[in-house]
Amino acid sequence: MPDHQRAQARQARREELGQQLLYEGRCLAIFIAPSFDAYGRRFSPLEYAAQMRDFTSFFDEIALACAERIADRKEEKGGNATEAFESIVKDIGKPDAPDRLETFYEEVTQRARYWRYGDGE
């Protein structure tokens, strides 16, 4: 899909989701952002900086992908966007499954890359 069509599709999706879901999506994107405490312990500061540059370079697409996940959870569980956001945060933050956040992050960034580059789905 050409860039202008992808941009139009992103805008249409944003309008479809609405402001509340987009707001919660931005909050979730900030929540899953690589933190230096977590990421920096495993990698050098330079690698962390590269990871953050990658994350911030397509933050809007990550926030949109997060909003989509919140919309899915809202539909699945009922309630409002804030409750769906809280449900996701509780799920990915469970100490018995430390890889959930990493898995969630990978899924969301894959979807964000789709919105940016058209790769995968």
User: What 3-state DSSP class applies to 67?
Assistant: helix
Tens of pLDDT along the chain (121 residues)? Answer: 677 888 898 899 999 999 999 999 999 999 988 776 665 566 677 888 888 888 888 899 999 999 999 999 999 999 999 999 999 999 988 777 767 888 898 999 999 999 988 865 5
pTM: 0.84
Alpha-carbon distance of 25 to 22, in angstroms, equals 5
Yes or no: say if 69 and 88 are a contact pair by the CB < 8 Å rule: yes
Work out whether the CA dihedral 106, 55, 10, 85 comes out positive or negative.
positive
Tokens describing residue 91:
């799920």
Alpha-carbon distance of 114 to 111, in angstroms, equals 5
